Chains A and B, each alone.
Chain A
Amino acid sequence: EAGVTQFPSHSVIEKGQTVTLRCDPISGHDNLYWYRRVMGKEIKFLLHFVKESKQDESGMPNNRFLAERTGGTYSTLKVQPAELEDSGVYFCASSQDRQTSYNEQFFGPGTRLTVL
């Protein structure tokens, strides 16, 4: 079974440009999460989808970031316009929908974004 995949693996853009990151979760996983790690610091939560709905977007830094998950399958994260401080590694994760407590999140390899 394929794991979580992310595209591209690396993106280099100039300040002010737009970038779109894509995440394909594990098939059948209703939950999809975006996280990012900036400059070797902690990995921070951005948002959580359940199917196509945004369940929790408390970690989104500002309105330059737009996440979508049309049809409840893959998700995109668009940064427009990109700023220098947006550089980092963006991770996507997915998990099954379980009613009880523990719920393992499976992570993709990440997209390394460099804004010059």
Chain B
Amino acid sequence: GEDVEQSLFLSVREGDSSVINCTYTDSSSTYLYWYKQEPGAGLQLLTYIFSNMDMKQDQRLTVLLNKKDKHLSLRIADTQTGDSAIYFCAESMEDTGRRALTFGSGTRLQVQP
């Protein structure tokens, strides 16, 4: 079945690193994503990783994928107040032809100055 889980809340100080974790259950996932939602806005795709990769880095963002444990994490280096938002983990199974995304409940990141 499809189930994506995340912790609900994370608080960090400005300048520290943030690590947001996600676990998923469907081993046939082909892509895993991190979306960001700021207040009053839609979801914005931050980054994604293909299931045959272990790591992807994009500027301040590092995504780690542990397929054995079905664990995905997003690390934000030098966290800024503008990073305060809700972060959603999501998975898709593109090779089945199904385009629907399966999301977690979201992690609210609060960055304290």
Q: Interface on A for B, CB 8 Å cutoff? A: 3-4, 31, 33, 35, 40-45, 48, 55-56, 58-59, 91, 93, 95, 101-110
* Chain B binding surface SS class: strand
Question: Do the beta carbons of B104 and A56 come within 8 Å of each other?
Answer: no
Question: Do the beta carbons of A55 and B41 come within 8 Å of each other?
Answer: no
- Which residues of chain A are near B45, meaning CB under 8 Å? 104-106
Q: Interface on B for A, CB 8 Å cutoff? A: 4, 30-31, 35, 40-45, 48, 50, 88, 90, 94-95, 98-106
Question: Do the beta carbons of B43 and A107 come within 8 Å of each other?
Answer: yes
Task: Give the distance to chain B from A107, nearest Cβ to Cβ, in Å.
Answer: 4
Given A101-B30, A101-B31, A101-B95: A42 and B100 within 8 A (CB)? no
- Kindly state the separation between the CA atoms of A103 and B99 in the bound complex, as whole angstroms: 8
Task: Give the distance to chain A from B20, nearest Cβ to Cβ, in Å.
Answer: 15
Given A42-B104, A43-B88, A101-B31: A31 and B42 within 8 A (CB)? no
Residue in A3, A59, A102 whose Cβ sees the most chain B Cβ within 10 Å: A102
Question: Do the beta carbons of B100 and A48 come within 8 Å of each other?
Answer: yes
- Which residues of chain A are near B30, meaning CB under 8 Å? 101
- Kindly state the separation between the CA atoms of A48 and B35 in the bound complex, as whole angstroms: 19
Question: Do the beta carbons of B100 and A59 come within 8 Å of each other?
Answer: yes
Question: Do the beta carbons of A45 and B100 come within 8 Å of each other?
Answer: yes
Residue in A45, A56, A106 whose Cβ sees the most chain B Cβ within 10 Å: A45
Task: Give the distance to chain B from A53, nearest Cβ to Cβ, in Å.
Answer: 13
Partner of B103, one of A43, A104, A106: A43
- Which residues of chain A are near B106, meaning CB under 8 Å? 40, 42-43
Task: Give the distance to chain B from A48, nearest Cβ to Cβ, in Å.
Answer: 6
- 8 more contacts with CB within 8 A, not counting A40-B105, A42-B106, A102-B50, are A31-B99, A33-B101, A43-B106, A56-B98, A95-B99, A102-B94, A106-B45, A107-B35
